[in-house]
Structures are given as C-alpha cells and as structure tokens.
Amino acid sequence: MALSPTVSDALSEAEASLRNALSFAARQERPMVCAGVADLMQRLEAIMSMDKVLDKIETNMPDSIFGPFKIDDTDS
C-alpha cells in the first residue's frame, strides 16, 4: 500500500522545510544542530524510499504478507 498523496505531500513539504532550516543552520548554528537537522532529513527520505521498496515486494509476491515467499523445504 503506497503512501497516500496527502502523507507523501506532507513528507515532501517537511523535507523542504528541513532543507531550508539546514541552509540557515549551516551559517549560524553549532554543528550539532546541523547534524540533527540532516538526520531528520535522512529519516524522512528513508520512510519515503522504504515505502516504495515494500510496495514492489508486495506487488511481485502476492501470496504472503509481502508476497509469495515460498521456502523450498526440499533442501533440508
């Protein structure tokens, strides 16, 4: 299930705001503040990209919670 457009838009807006904050922080704040803002940006990007990965897994493997993860028991 893909992120809804409203959630996706909100995350994109948050990322843009954090990018703006990082721009100002880089000029005026301590490095710790910059690192914190950059970490938040990375986490938002990870949420958006991981959702896309999970969608691909669910689409390509529809028989289990993530798709047909068939385990071949003949190897044991």
Do the domain assignments include residue 52? Answer: yes
Do the domain assignments include residue 68? Answer: no
Do the domain assignments include residue 71? Answer: no
Encoding tokens for residue 44?
């938002």
Based on the structure, what is the number of domains in the chain? 1
Do the domain assignments include residue 65? Answer: no
Do the domain assignments include residue 14? Answer: yes
Enclosing domain of residue 28? 5-60
CA–CA distance, 33 with 60 (Å, rounded to integer): 41
pLDDT, one tens digit for every residue, the chain (76 residues)? 678 889 989 999 999 999 999 999 999 999 999 999 999 999 999 988 888 888 777 777 666 565 555 545 554 4
Do the domain assignments include residue 67? Answer: no
Model confidence, pTM: 0.68
Do the domain assignments include residue 75? Answer: no
Do the domain assignments include residue 25? Answer: yes
CA–CA distance, 51 with 74 (Å, rounded to integer): 33
